[in-house]
Amino acid sequence: MPRRRPPEPDAPLDRWVLSWADFVTLLFAFFVVMYAISQVNEEKYRRMTEALSDVFSGPGVMRGSSPAVEGGSGILEGGESREQAAATLVGPADEGETRLLNDLRARLEADFSKEIAGGEVEVQGSDLWFSIELRSSLLFGSGGAIPAIEADRILSQIAAELREIENPIHVEGFTDNEPISTDRYPSNWELSAARAAAVVRLLAMNGVSPQQMAAVGYGEFQPAYSNRTAEGRRLNRRIVIVVSRDEKVRRAVASFGSEQVSNDAVSEMLTEQEQEKAPPALEQVETQDGILIRQARPED
């Protein structure tokens, strides 16, 4: 029968105390952190917001000042803001501006009467904007955004009329729903945007001010014709040059696409005024750390 091994006299029997102490220390640190983040120091919070306001207020605001306190705007308690976004309004149609757009549209229709009769160019207009729709086959090769030789003649004729005006201009690019995946154009987004940018560049080279223009690519997602037929896909491959009455109209039309909204819809969208809400009142509250200015709360 084997003999039992006698216990070692110097064996550390209290080794578990170290693990228990580590566990208690970590548990204590956890509750300290939880307690710390549950206590909100409003004065420190106000100082932090003032510091952030100094960073984002720009050079026109004195450092150390809080827009929420001095300017009556900025973020208030509860995440609300006193600063109301300026309403985007379009005034009534001016006879001179409307006549200018109509005369310009008439001249372009006369210049491209042959192409319009052949269905390669289409000119449409309203009191707010007018558009020149060009088939992509007139300007670009299949699947590419490098302008063809014929594109320079067509766009130079258009530029001869557009460079005499100061109206905002944006160029929209559209494709059909046939997928494309090349090293240069991974999708129709890139192809439509590249074609629109190429038209903008040629118009600028022919004298149209670059400050007036912008390029927008819609890809295949705003078809004007059915993509079920070859003819519909051909018509969907197009470039639309939109001349707006002013910058507000251009932004509204470019947001949705010139072919997705009507003249009445844009006019109603831009002229509808929202009811102005009274700005919330501010109150001063004395705290242990100082005076806090916050949105006044209704009395119970």
Residue 123 pLDDT > 80: yes
What total number of domains does the chain contain?
2
Residue 150 pLDDT > 50: yes
Mean pLDDT for 192-211 is 96
Mean pLDDT for 180-208 is 95
121 and 219 assigned to the same domain: yes
Domain-located, residue 84: no
Residue 82's pLDDT is what? 45
Domain-located, residue 255: yes
**Residue span of the structural domain in which 206 resides:** 95-271
Band of residue 34 on the pLDDT scale cut at 50, 70, 90: confident
Domain-located, residue 279: no
Mean pLDDT for 204-213 is 95
154 and 247 assigned to the same domain: yes
263-271 vs 247-256: helix crossing angle, rounded to 10: 120
**pLDDT tens profile 87-107:** 445 555 667 778 888 899 999
38 and 132 assigned to the same domain: no
Domain-located, residue 278: no
Q: Where is pLDDT greater, at 22 or 294?
A: 22
Band of residue 77 on the pLDDT scale cut at 50, 70, 90: very low
Residue 188's pLDDT is what? 95
112 and 57 assigned to the same domain: no
Highest mean pLDDT pick, 31-35, 88-92, 237-241: 237-241
Residue 196 pLDDT > 70: yes
63 and 161 assigned to the same domain: no
Q: Where is pLDDT greater, at 193 or 281?
A: 193
pTM, to two decimals: 0.59
Residue 60's pLDDT is what? 47
Domain-located, residue 67: yes
Cα 36 to Cα 31, 33, 39: the distances in Å are 8, 5, 6
Mean pLDDT for 101-120 is 92
56 and 104 assigned to the same domain: no
Return the CATH number at 104. 3.30.1330.60
115 and 43 assigned to the same domain: no
Residue 171's pLDDT is what? 96
Domain-located, residue 122: yes
Residue 32's pLDDT is what? 81
61 and 107 assigned to the same domain: no
102 and 246 assigned to the same domain: yes
Residue 7's pLDDT is what? 63
75 and 124 assigned to the same domain: no
Q: Tell which residue, 159, 184, 167, 163, has the closest CA to residue 128.
A: 167
Domain-located, residue 286: no
Domain-located, residue 173: yes
Residue 177's pLDDT is what? 94
103 and 70 assigned to the same domain: no
Residue 73 pLDDT > 50: no
Q: Where is pLDDT greater, at 133 or 293?
A: 133
22 and 112 assigned to the same domain: no
